[in-house]
Structure 1
Amino acid sequence: MSAGIIRIVHAFQYWRKRSFWSKLLIGILYVIAGILLLSNIFGDALSLTLALGILFFVEGIFEVITAFQVRPDPGCCSAALWLSFWGLLIMSEWPFSAAWVLGVFAGINFLLTGIWMIMLSLSIRSLSNQRTRI
């Protein structure tokens, strides 16, 4: 849930950019998923699995769109495409996927999102270093 709040704050810091709405939607979905997790800690794993599947699918789609806006190269968004694929897999195997999917895919999502954010920050840093040399 805190990741969703941070994403919403980050979206409002860049409200004039084209990616504002996608960042805001992802932040809201993170908050909703966090509220579901907190309210149903021992309860309904089925709704949590479906919510995470939808979240991962939507996040992957928006990451693909952002990747093509930043760098229009077909190979630039493979991690985001995998994230969308896993979201579809969760939803297609639901409700049977509820037994194992929560921990596995939350970990995969955090890993891929972290890698994506590191790569984005490194490319921004590289661009700023090139501009200061000129």
Structure 2
Amino acid sequence: MMAMTLGGVFTRQDLALLRGKWGILLAFGFSIVALGLLAFFNVVIATVASIYYVGASMLVAGILQIAHAFQLRGWRSFLSWLMIGLVYALAGVLAFVNPLLASSFLTLLLAISLLVVGLLRILAGLSLRPTKFASWLLVAGAITLFVGVFVLAGWPLNSRWFIGLLLAMDLTFHGIAMVIFAIALRNTPIPE
């Protein structure tokens, strides 16, 4: 007997292997929950850590883009590729130099994105009326729009802690999901 998963078939061997590691998954889940709770109690530090991660990613992407541009030096668009790399690298450096300013910019960008996505979901929901799915899309759009207004109303003061709060929530819920998955694995019988 096989159970279907999102990625394909979940075989008996897969279940046996995962079930044998349920304790490690449980410990991993509790560790992630602990990190999430730590981030909840230190949201400003979690925000700065997140910004450093984003800054490092942008800096590496910028350096790679610049290196790629120099590989194509004879190409007409060399300067465009070089400028893209320089902007990425500069943004990465600025995130390290002033992480709270970078978090302010990212929080504003997130608020604007949530407002736009919320409005688009509402419009999509209105265009799908009277189908049953439309109401779900309208509710999702209204919630997204509300969160966008909430974030924008608190900006720039909330930019010191908002990204850290998102990280804390993500870590905590991911850890809880891992704990539940591990317990479910332990309690799931392996089919013959």
User: What range is the shorter-chain TM-score in?
Assistant: 0.3 to 0.5
TM-score norm. by structure 1 comes to: 0.44
TM-score norm. by structure 2 comes to: 0.32
Structure number with greater CO (CA < 8 Å, separation at least 6) is 2
